[in-house]
A and B are shown apart, each in its own frame.
Chain A
Amino acid sequence: MRTTAQVAVQRKEIGPGTITREPINTGKFSKPLARVYIIPERCKECDYCWTFCPNDVLEMSDEINASGYHHPKVKAGKENDCVNCGMCQAVCPEFAIYAKEVA
């Protein structure tokens, strides 16, 4: 398997002989993937989770809970973008949302 540097030389993005380095442990790391869990009855539609999600995964859903508030949902096409940063859980004043890494 070729390194990123070898690929870049072949694509003529960098000249041959240029010193390039790649961390030797790149393969050990992977992007976490998490699933979003909500407790709809606790939501008060404060807009915080979908506004402050750094990966822009959440949005307001069309469904309402018993109090008439719209709870969050995962955006269509963003199902695999949650990286379990914990921002939605931290910024939620209602203990209504959390994410958990997919095992």
Chain B
Amino acid sequence: MISPQVKTGGPVVKVQHHVNDEVIRPERLPNIWCPGCGIGIVVGAYVRAIQKSPIARDRQISISGIGCTGRVSGYLNLDSYHTTHGRAIAFATGMAVARPELEITVIAGDGDLGVIGGNHLIHAARRNVDLNVIMVNNFNYGMTGGQHGGTTPLGAKTHTSPYGNVETPFNIPYLVAAAGASFVARWTAMHVRQVTAAISRMMEVKGFAFMEVLSPCPPTFGEFNGYPDPLDMMNYFKDKAVVDNNADLSGIGVTTHPEDSVVVGNFVDRKRPSYQELLGDLRARVSAQGGAKK
């Protein structure tokens, strides 16, 4: 049966404004990231999670460090902080303790969070500070030209490891789960809906919520490792990703070898008292007994 009013989609319509423009700073676009970079996809997922979230926009805080992913804060129309190298979590911890009502999300790269700020990462997970931390892992230091780092897979070629990397990389979800985080996930830039859903869940979790997002880096990592085109690594993630929420985290290191699978999922979602809760209890207990004992 044909309805009397025939609707047509028609050809593509050119416009000036995007439906997500209220959370980003459209005057700063196009962004600085290379064509096909996964950071923009993560920002899009974060923006849509904020639009869906019941938390008011003026309570959402975004903090980032240095590097390609460090530029995220500059594109968000939120209270956003661009901090020193590796210290994004340290800034965020201070803010989360002083103003526990804020919903703080740290978006930073693998070099920033996992290598230069590695101690801040594991200690924030150990304390279980109520933060959301999104690590965009592109396997190398992209902004400085593609040096190998703490997440570069063993044997991978970069500008500073032309014959193959001889260092064993971190297995980041295993590290953060062992340190005590409440929520640990890993997804890729290809799993756009799962990334958005995980960010929404991270905003609900009371405690340290961590997600690693594997991202293509075509010009500095992909070019030397068999993924020169943006689509190559996205197709690798699409074909080789295995969703296993109950995976044994000790065996889920990423090799980026075309034959090896990538284990993704929401691995850990557990209840542990957060740092802010314990601190609030301590304050209540001490003030009930009339302040500190002399």
Contact = CB atoms under 8 A, between A and B. Distances in A.
Which secondary structure characterizes the binding site on chain A?
Answer: mixed
A96 interface: yes
Interface of B: 7-21, 24, 26, 29-31, 33-41, 43-45, 48, 190, 192-193, 196, 229-231, 234
A14 interface: no
Most buried by A among B7, B15, B18: B18
Nearest to B16: A39
Contacts of A96: 18, 30
- Give the 9 A-B CB pairs with smallest separation, nearest first: A93-B40, A90-B192, A46-B36, A44-B35, A46-B35, A95-B18, A42-B30, A36-B12, A74-B12
15 contacts: A33-B9, A35-B10, A39-B14, A39-B15, A39-B16, A42-B18, A47-B36, A48-B230, A74-B11, A89-B44, A90-B45, A93-B37, A93-B41, A93-B43, A98-B20
A90 B41 contact: yes
B9 A35 contact: yes
A69 to B, nearest CB: 7
Chain A CB count within 10 A is highest, among B30, B31, B37, B190, for B30
Contacts of A46: 35-36, 230-231
A90 B48 contact: yes
Interface string A47-69: 11001100000100100000101
Given A47-B36, A47-B230, A87-B192, A94 B30 contact: yes
A93 B44 contact: yes
A79 B234 contact: no
B7 A102 contact: yes
A4 interface: no
B19 A100 contact: yes
Contacts of A51: 231, 234
B197 to A, nearest CB: 11
Interface string A7-38: 00000000000000000000000000111111
A35 B10 CA distance: 7
Q: Which of A35, A46, A72, A96 has the most CB of B within 10 A?
A: A46
B17 A39 contact: yes
B8 A102 contact: yes
Given A35-B13, A36-B13, A39-B14, A95 B230 contact: no
